[in-house]
Amino acid sequence: MFSIKKQTSAAVRFLVTYFLLGVLILLLAFFYYTRQVLKLNQDLEAQVESLASLAAEIPELSDSGLQSRLNQIVKQSTQVGRLSFVITDAEEQKVVIAKGIDPEIERKLQAEPPIRLNSEELLLIESTVERMRRKGIRRSIRYLVEDREIYGYLYHGVSDSAAIEQIPFVFTDANNKPKKWQRWGGLVTSASSSEDQLSQAKMLVRSATAQNHVIPLQTTPNWQKGYFYYEKKPYYGLMVMPVVLVTVFLTFSLVGFISYRRIKTYEQSAIWTGLAKETAHQLGTPISSLIGWVDFIIDREGNKSDPLLGRTYKNMQKDLNRLQQIARRFSKIGSLPQKEWVDVNWVVSEVVTYFRARLPKSKEVNLNVDYGGLPQIKANSELLQWVFENLIRNSIDAMDKTVGQINLRLAYDSTKRLINILYSDNGKGIGRKDRRKIFNPGMTTKNHGWGLGLTLAKRIIEEYHNGRIRLLHTSTSGTTFEIQIPVSQSK
């Protein structure tokens, strides 16, 4: 029995060590991966600083073509680098440009004229700017407001480079009405021109338009002062995979550990069942032989008038019958027991009567029973007696008071159709570290015994009789168990 416990304990220690080692290796890999991700974020932060500086300088460019090309580069970079930035006016009341926040917001702000944002989009912009403001990343910039107005057009022809001063041209107003022109001659204005000259000017406008030789004349855009805010979104997506791996590993490890524990429990159950059946088989023959010899002695000595000897023979016969009953109990472990109509009061009474005659002489122990009005149930009386015998035996072994008290109270709950049995003693109680293991096979705090008493009691009550046994209370002042047996049908 010690060898079995030792092997089981060694197997559990090996499994726990192996599991902890695997978790440690996985955690080290996870920390290394996380460190690399953080370093990548730091490197990207450094790149974002340069990108943010470029994005802040673009609005200050007066070259619209260069500004457009750089905006395309920044747009692509914001998608890859996860850069978001916002440009507000000087009063920080109006958002002029927003990139990397929401495509729909970008589209509306870039439209001509800008489209009004809805309440949700405004809330998103405000929360984003507020978050960027709290980070303290703000730059003062100048940006051009696209408020240019076309006030006229310049239409021109083509001339030799050596005679560029002879190139024909026409200045018109915004409605394409010629105002001043030059064509193979001197400069002519609309106020001093003849009808023929005006007709020639209009012909040049049509010719230049067909050849796309037109230059719009616009007002100069105004420079405005504003603020540039930006932030970089961290790569949280890179952290998902190690978390998933850890979760999957822990899940499979937990399932494997639970499966292993169940397999070990089944193995232990099979070992104890086999051991119990073999013990019953080995005890059966000598017990039967001893009973036969006691019967023979009683027959031979029955005529003698020694009453003490007669009582001794009868007590020996009772103890041998008791041994035979115990052997039968062991033989029933692992098998479905036969049930019959049983009075639980009678079962408890038999056990109490047996123990009262065999209580230890070294200390005073009182066995008190409060019988209740219980209906008869379908049960196995020998196995139920075994439950109470184990409880009483454990109480006697744990008794450390001058006067020991063992109390049983039996009652019937007609509402729940349960027989409730409260078993209590005033022994030394169960230690805190052992309370969760008291029903485990091999669990014992005594120098003798197999640690199977409460294990068998739990199996008899819960598996064979569909009831429940549990520890209600334990301390240095005593221990209390509750046993509930359902009354599925009554006689």
Boundaries of every domain in the chain: 2-145+223-234, 150-219, 248-335, 337-486
Neighbouring residues of 349: CB distance < 8 A, sequence distance ≥ 6: 369, 371
Say if pTM beats, i.e. exceeds, 0.95.
no
What is the distance between the alpha carbons of residues 368 and 352, in angstroms, rounded to a whole number? 9
User: CATH class for domain 337-486?
Assistant: alpha beta
Return the CA Rg of the chain.
50
Which residues, given as ranges, of the chain have pLDDT below 50? 1-7
What is the distance between the alpha carbons of residues 262 and 146, in angstroms, rounded to a whole number? 76
Q: What torsion do the CA atoms of 207, 210, 216, 217 make, to the nearest 10 degrees?
A: 0
CB 233 within 8 A of CB 48: no
What is the distance between the alpha carbons of residues 386 and 296, in angstroms, rounded to a whole number? 30
Neighbouring residues of 119: CB distance < 8 A, sequence distance ≥ 6: none
What is the distance between the alpha carbons of residues 470 and 465, in angstroms, rounded to a whole number? 15
Nearest to 396 by CA among 325, 446, 436: 446
Q: What is the pLDDT of residue 258?
A: 77
| Cβ atoms < 10 Å from Cβ of 326 | 18
